[in-house]
Protein backbone atom coordinates (compact mmCIF):
# COMPACT_ATOMS: atom_id res chain seq x y z
CA UNK A 1 0.00 0.00 0.00
CA UNK A 2 1.22 3.44 -0.85
CA UNK A 3 0.98 5.05 2.62
CA UNK A 4 1.62 8.55 1.23
CA UNK A 5 -1.70 8.51 -0.67
CA UNK A 6 -3.75 8.33 2.54
CA UNK A 7 -3.72 9.59 6.10
CA UNK A 8 -5.93 9.11 9.19
CA UNK A 9 -8.91 11.46 9.08
CA UNK A 10 -8.68 11.96 5.32
CA UNK A 11 -12.06 12.17 3.52
CA UNK A 12 -12.78 11.11 -0.06
CA UNK A 13 -15.51 9.64 -2.30
CA UNK A 14 -15.49 5.86 -2.76
CA UNK A 15 -17.43 3.35 -4.87
CA UNK A 16 -17.98 -0.03 -3.19
CA UNK A 17 -17.05 -2.87 -5.53
CA UNK A 18 -17.68 -5.99 -3.46
CA UNK A 19 -18.30 -7.45 0.00
CA UNK A 20 -15.33 -8.52 2.15
CA UNK A 21 -15.13 -11.83 4.00
CA UNK A 22 -16.15 -10.12 7.29
CA UNK A 23 -19.17 -8.39 5.72
CA UNK A 24 -17.59 -4.99 5.13
CA UNK A 25 -17.79 -3.08 1.83
CA UNK A 26 -14.57 -3.03 -0.22
CA UNK A 27 -13.54 -0.09 -2.41
CA UNK A 28 -10.30 1.12 -4.03
CA UNK A 29 -8.70 4.55 -3.59
CA UNK A 30 -5.69 5.19 -5.87
CA UNK A 31 -5.39 1.39 -6.19
CA UNK A 32 -5.34 0.88 -2.42
CA UNK A 33 -7.89 -1.41 -0.73
CA UNK A 34 -10.31 0.34 1.65
CA UNK A 35 -12.67 -1.61 3.97
CA UNK A 36 -15.86 0.17 5.06
CA UNK A 37 -18.16 -1.36 7.67
CA UNK A 38 -21.86 -1.11 6.75
CA UNK A 39 -21.31 -0.32 3.05
CA UNK A 40 -22.96 -2.37 0.28
CA UNK A 41 -21.55 -3.25 -3.18
CA UNK A 42 -22.64 -0.71 -5.80
CA UNK A 43 -22.94 2.19 -3.35
CA UNK A 44 -21.25 5.55 -3.89
CA UNK A 45 -20.25 7.00 -0.52
CA UNK A 46 -18.01 9.55 1.14
CA UNK A 47 -15.68 8.06 3.78
CA UNK A 48 -13.20 9.10 6.45
CA UNK A 49 -10.06 7.00 7.02
CA UNK A 50 -9.97 5.57 10.58
CA UNK A 51 -7.05 3.11 10.37
CA UNK A 52 -4.03 2.54 8.13
CA UNK A 53 -2.36 -0.85 7.77
CA UNK A 54 0.53 -1.92 5.54
CA UNK A 55 -1.66 -3.24 2.73
CA UNK A 56 -5.11 -1.77 3.38
CA UNK A 57 -7.06 1.01 5.10
CA UNK A 58 -10.28 1.07 7.14
CA UNK A 59 -12.78 3.90 6.83
CA UNK A 60 -16.21 4.90 8.12
CA UNK A 61 -19.18 6.16 6.13
CA UNK A 62 -19.79 9.93 6.30
CA UNK A 63 -22.54 10.13 3.65
CA UNK A 64 -24.18 7.71 1.26
CA UNK A 65 -24.39 9.60 -2.03
CA UNK A 66 -25.98 6.75 -3.97
CA UNK A 67 -27.52 4.02 -1.77
CA UNK A 68 -27.90 0.42 -2.95
CA UNK A 69 -31.39 -0.77 -3.86
CA UNK A 70 -30.68 -3.62 -1.39
CA UNK A 71 -30.11 -1.34 1.60
CA UNK A 72 -32.65 -1.65 4.43
CA UNK A 73 -33.11 -0.48 8.01
CA UNK A 74 -31.64 -3.10 10.39
CA UNK A 75 -34.51 -4.37 12.58
CA UNK A 76 -32.29 -4.96 15.64
CA UNK A 77 -31.98 -2.07 18.13
CA UNK A 78 -28.33 -2.84 19.04
CA UNK A 79 -27.19 -3.90 15.53
CA UNK A 80 -24.62 -1.11 15.18
CA UNK A 81 -22.94 -1.70 18.56
CA UNK A 82 -23.24 -5.47 18.92
CA UNK A 83 -21.24 -6.79 15.97
CA UNK A 84 -22.78 -10.28 16.30
CA UNK A 85 -24.50 -9.76 12.93
CA UNK A 86 -22.85 -7.91 10.03
CA UNK A 87 -25.49 -7.85 7.26
CA UNK A 88 -28.85 -6.78 8.72
CA UNK A 89 -28.62 -3.53 6.72
CA UNK A 90 -28.88 -5.60 3.50
CA UNK A 91 -31.96 -7.40 2.13
CA UNK A 92 -31.83 -11.17 2.49
CA UNK A 93 -31.87 -11.69 -1.28
CA UNK A 94 -28.71 -9.54 -1.55
CA UNK A 95 -27.06 -11.40 1.36
CA UNK A 96 -27.40 -14.70 -0.53
CA UNK A 97 -25.97 -13.22 -3.76
CA UNK A 98 -23.02 -11.67 -1.89
CA UNK A 99 -22.24 -14.83 0.06
CA UNK A 100 -21.80 -16.70 -3.23
CA UNK A 101 -19.58 -13.83 -4.37
CA UNK A 102 -17.40 -14.17 -1.23
CA UNK A 103 -16.78 -17.81 -2.25
CA UNK A 104 -15.90 -16.77 -5.83
CA UNK A 105 -13.50 -14.05 -4.56
CA UNK A 106 -11.67 -16.57 -2.35
CA UNK A 107 -11.27 -18.95 -5.29
CA UNK A 108 -10.06 -16.13 -7.58
CA UNK A 109 -7.41 -15.25 -5.00
CA UNK A 110 -6.11 -18.75 -4.17
CA UNK A 111 -7.33 -21.10 -6.94
CA UNK A 112 -8.05 -19.10 -10.09
CA UNK A 113 -8.26 -22.12 -12.34
CA UNK A 114 -11.03 -23.64 -10.10
CA UNK A 115 -12.86 -20.28 -10.03
CA UNK A 116 -12.94 -20.23 -13.84
CA UNK A 117 -13.90 -23.88 -14.43
CA UNK A 118 -16.23 -24.83 -11.56
CA UNK A 119 -19.99 -24.60 -11.21
CA UNK A 120 -20.54 -22.40 -8.14
CA UNK A 121 -24.24 -22.78 -7.41
CA UNK A 122 -26.65 -20.19 -5.98
CA UNK A 123 -26.66 -20.00 -2.16
CA UNK A 124 -29.32 -22.10 -0.42
CA UNK A 125 -31.12 -19.69 1.93
CA UNK A 126 -33.84 -19.89 4.59
CA UNK A 127 -37.56 -19.20 4.17
CA UNK A 128 -37.46 -17.21 7.40
CA UNK A 129 -33.91 -15.94 8.07
CA UNK A 130 -34.63 -14.77 11.66
CA UNK A 131 -34.85 -16.38 15.14
CA UNK A 132 -33.00 -19.51 13.97
CA UNK A 133 -30.27 -19.99 16.63
CA UNK A 134 -31.21 -22.78 19.05
CA UNK A 135 -28.63 -21.80 21.69
CA UNK A 136 -27.70 -18.55 23.42
CA UNK A 137 -24.71 -17.84 25.68
CA UNK A 138 -25.27 -14.47 27.31
CA UNK A 139 -22.75 -12.96 29.72
CA UNK A 140 -24.11 -11.64 33.03
CA UNK A 141 -22.94 -8.43 34.73
CA UNK A 142 -24.33 -6.03 37.33
CA UNK A 143 -24.52 -2.23 37.33
CA UNK A 144 -25.83 -0.77 40.56
CA UNK A 145 -28.77 -3.02 41.47
CA UNK A 146 -29.57 -4.04 37.87
CA UNK A 147 -28.45 -7.37 36.45
CA UNK A 148 -27.73 -7.36 32.70
CA UNK A 149 -27.44 -10.30 30.31
CA UNK A 150 -26.21 -9.97 26.76
CA UNK A 151 -23.17 -9.70 24.51
CA UNK A 152 -20.18 -7.41 24.65
CA UNK A 153 -20.22 -4.48 22.22
CA UNK A 154 -17.83 -5.12 19.34
CA UNK A 155 -14.20 -4.55 20.32
CA UNK A 156 -15.02 -3.49 23.92
CA UNK A 157 -15.80 -4.83 27.38
CA UNK A 158 -19.08 -2.92 27.49
CA UNK A 159 -21.95 -5.40 27.98
CA UNK A 160 -25.09 -4.72 25.93
CA UNK A 161 -28.26 -5.80 27.70
CA UNK A 162 -30.20 -7.75 25.05
CA UNK A 163 -33.83 -8.65 25.69
CA UNK A 164 -34.79 -9.91 22.26
CA UNK A 165 -32.06 -10.97 19.84
CA UNK A 166 -33.43 -11.15 16.30
CA UNK A 167 -31.41 -14.27 15.35
CA UNK A 168 -32.09 -16.22 18.58
CA UNK A 169 -34.99 -18.66 18.97
CA UNK A 170 -37.65 -16.71 20.95
CA UNK A 171 -37.76 -19.26 23.80
CA UNK A 172 -34.02 -18.77 24.48
CA UNK A 173 -34.53 -14.98 24.74
CA UNK A 174 -37.59 -15.32 26.98
CA UNK A 175 -35.81 -17.71 29.41
CA UNK A 176 -32.58 -15.67 29.49
CA UNK A 177 -34.46 -12.47 30.39
CA UNK A 178 -36.53 -14.35 33.02
CA UNK A 179 -33.41 -15.92 34.58
CA UNK A 180 -31.64 -12.54 34.68
CA UNK A 181 -34.60 -11.04 36.57
CA UNK A 182 -34.64 -13.97 39.05
CA UNK A 183 -30.89 -13.53 39.75
CA UNK A 184 -31.56 -9.83 40.42
CA UNK A 185 -34.60 -10.54 42.64
CA UNK A 186 -32.77 -13.14 44.76
CA UNK A 187 -29.70 -10.90 44.92
CA UNK A 188 -27.39 -13.73 43.81
CA UNK A 189 -23.77 -12.48 43.42
CA UNK A 190 -22.91 -11.65 39.79
CA UNK A 191 -19.43 -12.07 38.29
CA UNK A 192 -17.36 -8.90 37.91
CA UNK A 193 -15.12 -9.01 34.85
CA UNK A 194 -12.67 -6.51 36.36
CA UNK A 195 -12.22 -7.79 39.94
CA UNK A 196 -13.10 -11.40 38.97
CA UNK A 197 -15.23 -11.61 42.13
CA UNK A 198 -18.85 -12.75 42.16
CA UNK A 199 -20.55 -15.97 41.13
CA UNK A 200 -22.76 -16.14 38.02
CA UNK A 201 -20.85 -15.53 34.77
CA UNK A 202 -23.07 -16.74 31.93
CA UNK A 203 -26.64 -17.90 31.22
CA UNK A 204 -26.66 -20.61 28.54
CA UNK A 205 -30.01 -21.71 27.09
CA UNK A 206 -30.43 -24.37 24.40
CA UNK A 207 -33.77 -25.51 23.01
CA UNK A 208 -34.66 -28.55 20.94
CA UNK A 209 -36.38 -26.93 17.95
CA UNK A 210 -38.00 -30.23 16.89
CA UNK A 211 -38.65 -31.72 20.36
CA UNK A 212 -39.52 -28.59 22.36
CA UNK A 213 -37.16 -29.54 25.22
CA UNK A 214 -35.07 -26.75 26.74
CA UNK A 215 -31.99 -26.76 28.96
CA UNK A 216 -30.84 -23.86 31.16
CA UNK A 217 -27.21 -23.83 32.34
CA UNK A 218 -25.76 -21.30 34.78
CA UNK A 219 -21.98 -20.95 34.47
CA UNK A 220 -20.53 -20.00 37.87
CA UNK A 221 -17.10 -19.39 39.41
CA UNK A 222 -17.62 -21.92 42.23
CA UNK A 223 -19.95 -24.71 43.38
CA UNK A 224 -21.99 -22.88 45.99
CA UNK A 225 -25.28 -21.39 44.85
CA UNK A 226 -27.22 -19.25 47.37
CA UNK A 227 -31.05 -19.66 47.43
CA UNK A 228 -30.54 -22.74 45.28
CA UNK A 229 -33.98 -24.32 45.76
CA UNK A 230 -35.90 -21.10 45.22
CA UNK A 231 -33.75 -20.28 42.18
CA UNK A 232 -34.49 -23.71 40.62
CA UNK A 233 -38.24 -23.49 41.30
CA UNK A 234 -38.46 -19.99 39.79
CA UNK A 235 -36.48 -20.93 36.66
CA UNK A 236 -38.71 -24.02 36.14
CA UNK A 237 -41.77 -21.75 36.10
CA UNK A 238 -40.37 -19.56 33.29
CA UNK A 239 -41.37 -21.96 30.50
CA UNK A 240 -43.00 -25.40 30.34
CA UNK A 241 -40.31 -26.55 27.85
CA UNK A 242 -37.56 -26.52 30.54
CA UNK A 243 -36.63 -30.16 31.32
CA UNK A 244 -33.02 -29.68 32.44
CA UNK A 245 -31.31 -27.12 34.71
CA UNK A 246 -27.56 -27.48 35.15
CA UNK A 247 -24.66 -25.59 36.72
CA UNK A 248 -21.22 -25.51 35.11
CA UNK A 249 -18.22 -24.43 37.18
CA UNK A 250 -15.59 -22.31 35.41
CA UNK A 251 -13.05 -20.94 37.92
CA UNK A 252 -10.56 -19.76 35.28
CA UNK A 253 -9.89 -16.21 34.07
CA UNK A 254 -10.67 -17.06 30.44
CA UNK A 255 -12.89 -16.10 27.53
CA UNK A 256 -13.98 -19.76 27.24
CA UNK A 257 -17.59 -20.16 28.40
CA UNK A 258 -17.45 -23.59 30.06
CA UNK A 259 -15.31 -25.21 32.74
CA UNK A 260 -14.86 -28.99 33.07
CA UNK A 261 -17.39 -29.71 35.82
CA UNK A 262 -21.17 -29.78 35.27
CA UNK A 263 -23.79 -30.51 37.97
CA UNK A 264 -27.43 -31.35 37.24
CA UNK A 265 -29.59 -29.11 39.48
CA UNK A 266 -32.98 -30.32 38.27
CA UNK A 267 -34.47 -32.65 35.66
CA UNK A 268 -32.43 -34.53 33.05
CA UNK A 269 -28.73 -34.28 32.23
CA UNK A 270 -29.46 -33.91 28.51
CA UNK A 271 -32.13 -32.61 26.17
CA UNK A 272 -33.33 -34.55 23.15
CA UNK A 273 -33.19 -33.13 19.62
CA UNK A 274 -33.94 -34.49 16.15
CA UNK A 275 -32.30 -33.85 12.80
CA UNK A 276 -34.26 -35.49 10.00
CA UNK A 277 -34.58 -39.17 11.02
CA UNK A 278 -31.73 -38.95 13.55
CA UNK A 279 -32.11 -38.15 17.25
CA UNK A 280 -29.47 -36.84 19.66
CA UNK A 281 -29.09 -36.39 23.41
CA UNK A 282 -27.28 -33.13 24.13
CA UNK A 283 -25.49 -32.35 27.38
CA UNK A 284 -24.72 -28.73 28.35
CA UNK A 285 -21.26 -28.75 26.73
CA UNK A 286 -22.00 -30.94 23.70
CA UNK A 287 -21.42 -29.33 20.30
CA UNK A 288 -24.48 -29.25 18.07
CA UNK A 289 -25.33 -27.23 14.97
CA UNK A 290 -26.86 -23.84 15.91
CA UNK A 291 -29.31 -23.79 12.98
CA UNK A 292 -31.01 -27.21 12.80
CA UNK A 293 -33.30 -26.28 9.90
CA UNK A 294 -30.40 -25.37 7.60
CA UNK A 295 -28.29 -28.27 8.92
CA UNK A 296 -30.77 -30.66 7.30
CA UNK A 297 -30.26 -28.87 3.95
CA UNK A 298 -26.47 -28.92 4.43
CA UNK A 299 -26.37 -32.64 5.28
CA UNK A 300 -28.67 -33.48 2.37
CA UNK A 301 -26.22 -31.68 0.07
CA UNK A 302 -23.39 -33.80 1.55
CA UNK A 303 -25.48 -36.93 0.95
CA UNK A 304 -26.22 -35.87 -2.64
CA UNK A 305 -22.48 -35.27 -3.30
CA UNK A 306 -21.45 -38.60 -1.68
CA UNK A 307 -23.86 -40.41 -4.09
CA UNK A 308 -23.77 -43.67 -2.09
CA UNK A 309 -25.31 -46.89 -3.44
CA UNK A 310 -24.83 -49.16 -0.41
CA UNK A 311 -21.52 -50.59 -1.68
CA UNK A 312 -19.14 -47.79 -0.63
CA UNK A 313 -16.90 -47.44 2.43
CA UNK A 314 -16.90 -43.94 3.95
CA UNK A 315 -14.53 -42.09 6.26
CA UNK A 316 -15.99 -39.15 8.22
CA UNK A 317 -12.88 -37.15 9.16
CA UNK A 318 -13.11 -34.43 11.86
CA UNK A 319 -16.32 -36.29 12.77
CA UNK A 320 -17.29 -34.52 16.03
CA UNK A 321 -20.28 -36.34 17.55
CA UNK A 322 -20.73 -38.29 14.30
CA UNK A 323 -23.65 -36.40 12.75
CA UNK A 324 -22.42 -36.43 9.11
CA UNK A 325 -21.31 -40.09 9.15
CA UNK A 326 -24.62 -41.15 10.70
CA UNK A 327 -26.51 -39.11 8.08
CA UNK A 328 -24.76 -41.20 5.40
CA UNK A 329 -24.72 -44.55 7.25
CA UNK A 330 -27.98 -45.95 5.85
CA UNK A 331 -26.59 -45.86 2.29
CA UNK A 332 -23.00 -46.96 3.07
CA UNK A 333 -21.37 -50.38 3.35
CA UNK A 334 -19.22 -49.15 6.26
CA UNK A 335 -18.55 -45.80 7.98
CA UNK A 336 -15.44 -44.98 10.02
CA UNK A 337 -14.90 -41.67 11.78
CA UNK A 338 -12.19 -40.01 13.84
CA UNK A 339 -11.72 -36.90 15.94
CA UNK A 340 -9.06 -35.64 18.35
CA UNK A 341 -11.63 -34.81 21.08
CA UNK A 342 -12.26 -37.95 23.21
CA UNK A 343 -15.70 -36.73 24.49
CA UNK A 344 -16.87 -36.26 20.91
CA UNK A 345 -15.88 -39.84 20.04
CA UNK A 346 -17.74 -41.14 23.13
CA UNK A 347 -20.86 -39.23 22.00
CA UNK A 348 -20.41 -40.48 18.40
CA UNK A 349 -20.24 -44.12 19.58
CA UNK A 350 -23.34 -43.62 21.75
CA UNK A 351 -25.22 -41.94 18.87
CA UNK A 352 -24.34 -44.83 16.53
CA UNK A 353 -25.50 -47.37 19.16
CA UNK A 354 -28.75 -45.48 19.77
CA UNK A 355 -29.55 -45.64 16.06
CA UNK A 356 -28.72 -49.35 15.84
CA UNK A 357 -25.87 -48.90 13.33
CA UNK A 358 -23.51 -51.91 13.56
CA UNK A 359 -21.35 -50.94 10.54
CA UNK A 360 -20.14 -47.63 12.01
CA UNK A 361 -16.95 -47.29 14.10
CA UNK A 362 -15.21 -44.31 15.69
CA UNK A 363 -11.63 -43.75 16.86
CA UNK A 364 -9.85 -40.99 18.80
CA UNK A 365 -6.89 -39.43 17.00
CA UNK A 366 -5.94 -37.49 13.89
CA UNK A 367 -7.40 -38.30 10.50
CA UNK A 368 -3.96 -38.71 8.90
CA UNK A 369 -2.80 -41.24 11.55
CA UNK A 370 -5.90 -43.38 11.20
CA UNK A 371 -5.95 -43.22 7.38
CA UNK A 372 -2.34 -44.48 7.28
CA UNK A 373 -3.05 -47.20 9.83
CA UNK A 374 -6.20 -48.42 8.05
CA UNK A 375 -4.39 -48.41 4.73
CA UNK A 376 -1.72 -50.73 6.20
CA UNK A 377 -4.57 -53.00 7.34
CA UNK A 378 -5.95 -53.03 3.79
CA UNK A 379 -8.83 -50.53 4.23
CA UNK A 380 -9.03 -47.60 1.78
CA UNK A 381 -12.29 -45.61 1.75
CA UNK A 382 -14.22 -44.97 -1.47
CA UNK A 383 -15.52 -41.64 -0.09
CA UNK A 384 -13.99 -39.24 2.44
CA UNK A 385 -16.18 -36.54 3.92
CA UNK A 386 -14.50 -33.67 5.81
CA UNK A 387 -15.89 -30.79 7.83
CA UNK A 388 -12.77 -29.16 9.31
CA UNK A 389 -12.51 -26.12 11.63
CA UNK A 390 -12.06 -22.61 10.17
CA UNK A 391 -8.31 -23.22 9.78
CA UNK A 392 -9.05 -25.83 7.09
CA UNK A 393 -7.35 -29.18 6.51
CA UNK A 394 -4.00 -30.04 8.09
CA UNK A 395 -1.19 -30.31 5.51
CA UNK A 396 -0.45 -33.84 6.75
CA UNK A 397 -4.10 -34.77 6.09
CA UNK A 398 -3.98 -33.43 2.51
CA UNK A 399 -0.78 -35.47 1.94
CA UNK A 400 -2.47 -38.62 3.29
CA UNK A 401 -5.52 -38.13 1.05
CA UNK A 402 -3.36 -37.58 -2.06
CA UNK A 403 -1.56 -40.82 -1.16
CA UNK A 404 -4.60 -43.06 -0.56
CA UNK A 405 -6.71 -41.45 -3.34
CA UNK A 406 -10.36 -42.12 -2.43
CA UNK A 407 -12.68 -41.92 -5.49
CA UNK A 408 -14.51 -38.88 -4.15
CA UNK A 409 -14.09 -36.27 -1.43
CA UNK A 410 -17.00 -34.26 -0.04
CA UNK A 411 -15.51 -31.13 1.58
CA UNK A 412 -17.81 -29.11 3.87
CA UNK A 413 -16.29 -25.74 4.76
CA UNK A 414 -17.15 -22.80 7.02
CA UNK A 415 -14.31 -20.61 5.65
CA UNK A 416 -14.10 -19.86 1.89
CA UNK A 417 -10.42 -18.77 2.13
CA UNK A 418 -9.12 -22.02 3.62
CA UNK A 419 -11.46 -23.99 1.33
CA UNK A 420 -9.93 -22.29 -1.73
CA UNK A 421 -6.34 -22.92 -0.53
CA UNK A 422 -7.07 -26.60 0.19
CA UNK A 423 -8.87 -27.13 -3.14
CA UNK A 424 -5.87 -25.66 -4.97
CA UNK A 425 -3.71 -28.45 -3.46
CA UNK A 426 -6.24 -31.26 -3.84
CA UNK A 427 -6.85 -30.31 -7.49
CA UNK A 428 -3.45 -31.86 -8.36
CA UNK A 429 -5.32 -35.19 -8.43
CA UNK A 430 -8.98 -34.21 -8.14
CA UNK A 431 -11.48 -32.36 -10.31
CA UNK A 432 -13.73 -29.98 -8.37
CA UNK A 433 -17.16 -30.76 -9.86
CA UNK A 434 -19.17 -28.06 -8.11
CA UNK A 435 -19.41 -25.93 -4.97
CA UNK A 436 -22.77 -25.43 -3.23
CA UNK A 437 -22.91 -22.47 -0.77
CA UNK A 438 -25.41 -22.87 2.11
CA UNK A 439 -26.49 -20.00 4.39
CA UNK A 440 -26.25 -21.42 7.91
CA UNK A 441 -26.08 -18.00 9.63
CA UNK A 442 -28.40 -15.43 8.00
CA UNK A 443 -27.66 -11.75 8.84
CA UNK A 444 -23.95 -12.58 9.35
CA UNK A 445 -21.07 -12.71 6.84
CA UNK A 446 -20.52 -16.47 7.39
CA UNK A 447 -21.08 -18.88 4.52
CA UNK A 448 -20.78 -22.68 4.48
CA UNK A 449 -20.02 -24.66 1.32
CA UNK A 450 -20.19 -28.25 0.16
CA UNK A 451 -17.62 -29.05 -2.55
CA UNK A 452 -17.57 -32.29 -4.53
CA UNK A 453 -14.15 -33.58 -5.69
CA UNK A 454 -13.74 -36.58 -8.00
CA UNK A 455 -10.48 -38.44 -8.55
CA UNK A 456 -9.15 -37.64 -12.01
CA UNK A 457 -9.63 -40.47 -14.51
CA UNK A 458 -12.54 -41.98 -12.52
Q: Closest Cα partner for 393 from 383, 401, 381?
A: 401
Q: What three-state secondary structure class fits 453?
A: strand
Per DSSP, helices labelled H in 200-306 are 228-236, 292-306
Q: Closest Cα partner for 177 from 194, 192, 165, 189?
A: 165
Q: How far is CA 443 from CA 40, 78, 150, 249, 416, in A?
A: 14, 14, 18, 32, 17
Distance CA 308, CA 181 (A): 52
Catalytic residue among 165, 319, 414, 449: 414
Cα torsion angle, 376, 377, 383, 387, sign = negative
Q: What single-letter DSSP state applies at residue 3? A: G
Q: Closest Cα partner for 296 from 322, 318, 271, 274?
A: 274
Where are the extended beta strands (E) located within 296-414? 313-317, 334-339, 360-364, 383-386, 408-413
217 is catalytic: no
Torsion of CA 335, 336, 341, 343, to 10 degrees: 60
Active site residues: 414
Amino acid sequence: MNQSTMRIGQKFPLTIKRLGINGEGVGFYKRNVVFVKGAIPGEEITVKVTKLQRNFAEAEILTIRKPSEFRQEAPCAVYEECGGCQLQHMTYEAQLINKRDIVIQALEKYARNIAENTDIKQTIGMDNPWHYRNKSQFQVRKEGKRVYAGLFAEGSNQLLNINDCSVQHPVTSKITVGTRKILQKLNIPIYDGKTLNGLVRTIVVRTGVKTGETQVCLVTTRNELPHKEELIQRIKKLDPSIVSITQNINREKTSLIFGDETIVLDGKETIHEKLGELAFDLSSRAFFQLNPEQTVHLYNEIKKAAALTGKETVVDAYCGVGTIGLWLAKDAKEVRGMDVVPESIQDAKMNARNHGFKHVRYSTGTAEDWLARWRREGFTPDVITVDPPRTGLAQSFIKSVLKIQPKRIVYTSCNPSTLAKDLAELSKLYDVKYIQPVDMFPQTAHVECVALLILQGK
